Structure 1
């Protein structure tokens, strides 16, 4: 495919262990297709059936759970190089239980799951590796969902914030880090009221626990000391 960032795909979990020239050959085998989406537009909707796996090429998208009354919970944020919809694509008979929405202007690379799971007619030598990467990817996402349950299981808004911020700090290996959410998205992700969360963040700053500016945070103490 022309003008596609093969280096970005090389760093994705789905193409782990492959070289750029190998990825270029595989994209043709997988009937890959690029598509652009405007900010706030829906990429996939609750109830749809999908047989495609997406990789974000640019921008950012959110996996969103919405109830009958329109209440939103952000399940996950997907950044460039990350994939989404794998589980539903593998279980094509199960309708989507979430929606996928562009958080900013975004571009997505779509690939047919059926061509990932079935060996191609040209006996592509990299196909087995792709299948192994898909299994590993599904397992890692399952672990991330379990981690989110840990955040949500905390009783207070402060405890939820500390649990999430601590995990992000350790994931990025630094007390100073950026999160992929604005304030409303963070509140949706943690299933808390935005105003209550903002008030709690202000108290945490006053207590010398955290500093922040927009989506950049710095933890000032070890969690154990709080």
Structure 2
């Protein structure tokens, strides 16, 4: 593997506390491979056989699921240094979602059986990798729980308010950029884009929030929280 990828991998959460030479050995054990994709290429399809846990080396990918009604629900955007497919690997049911190249991207794939299964070498680097993976899966479970919380709400205003309060907590600031474009946010909270835009404008006119494209400012946090009542 190219030395530049090795150096980049040392800085991501999955390979935390693993030395450089150990990492090279672990990657060999995991039967790692690198693939390049063009923007809008389909990387995985929901319910297909799981081919490997993906690590985004360059670019971004979008993760989505299809509802029983045939609607597409945006689950997340995965950026450089982040993973996709880690929960899928533990489920043993194949890909749980569809992953599409949001931009041109380079993906490192790791053989799932070598991570969630038993390694005969049982090296220290591999042990650290498994511990890191479990921490990442735990965080992803919390994130999915937040997503379920939003989808369970009936009111569009409650969905928007819940999402913005989550982003406020993540950024620890009343001013922040959200990681989704307007149409992606509509998909994420499962509402139509016109309905989303209309409610955002209403909240802006009421002096609760202000926004421009993906930049938001919470003007009245108390009123925003009261929207959840």
Normalising to structure 2: TM-score of the pair?
0.87
Equivalent residue for 2:175? 176
Unaligned runs of 5+ in 2: none
Q: Does the 8 Å contact 1:119/1:127 carry over to 2?
A: no
Looking at structure 2, the residues matched to 166 and 108 of structure 1 have their Cα atoms a distance apart, in angstroms, of 32
Pair 64,75 (structure 1): closer, same or farther in 2 beyond 3 Å: same
Equivalent residue for 1:125? 124
Normalising to structure 1: TM-score of the pair?
0.88
Deviation at 1:121? Answer: 4.8
Q: 1:94-145 CA distances to partner (integer Å, 9 max, x unpaired)? A: 1334211112222211111122234545442211111112222222211111
Pair 178,19 (structure 1): closer, same or farther in 2 beyond 3 Å: farther
Aligned residues: 225
Looking at structure 1, the residues matched to 7 and 214 of structure 2 have their Cα atoms a distance apart, in angstroms, of 26
Pair 126,72 (structure 1): closer, same or farther in 2 beyond 3 Å: same
Unaligned runs of 5+ in 1: none
Equivalent residue for 1:57? 57
Looking at structure 2, the residues matched to 6 and 208 of structure 1 have their Cα atoms a distance apart, in angstroms, of 49
Equivalent residue for 2:41? 41
Classify the secondary structure of the residue corresponding to 1:31. coil
Structure 1 residue 30 corresponds to structure 2 residue 33:
no
Pair 16,71 (structure 1): closer, same or farther in 2 beyond 3 Å: same
Q: Does the 8 Å contact 1:32/1:109 carry over to 2?
A: yes
Deviation at 1:157? Answer: 1.1
Looking at structure 1, the residues matched to 178 and 20 of structure 2 have their Cα atoms a distance apart, in angstroms, of 29
Equivalent residue for 2:210? 211
Structure 1 residue 76 corresponds to structure 2 residue 76:
yes
Structure 1 residue 158 corresponds to structure 2 residue 118:
no
Classify the secondary structure of the residue corresponding to 1:126. helix
Looking at structure 2, the residues matched to 162 and 36 of structure 1 have their Cα atoms a distance apart, in angstroms, of 37
Deviation at 1:19? Answer: 4.2
Q: 1:29-83 CA distances to partner (integer Å, 9 max, x unpaired)? A: 3222221212221110022010411111122211111246642111222111111
Q: Does the 8 Å contact 1:51/1:90 carry over to 2?
A: no
Equivalent residue for 1:144? 143
Looking at structure 2, the residues matched to 43 and 14 of structure 1 have their Cα atoms a distance apart, in angstroms, of 21
Pair 69,153 (structure 1): closer, same or farther in 2 beyond 3 Å: closer
Looking at structure 2, the residues matched to 170 and 67 of structure 1 have their Cα atoms a distance apart, in angstroms, of 29
Q: Does the 8 Å contact 2:19/2:125 carry over to 1?
A: no
Equivalent residue for 1:221? 220
Looking at structure 2, the residues matched to 119 and 98 of structure 1 have their Cα atoms a distance apart, in angstroms, of 26
CA RMSD of aligned residues (A): 2.2
Greater alpha carbon shift after TM alignment, 166-175 vs 186-195: 166-175
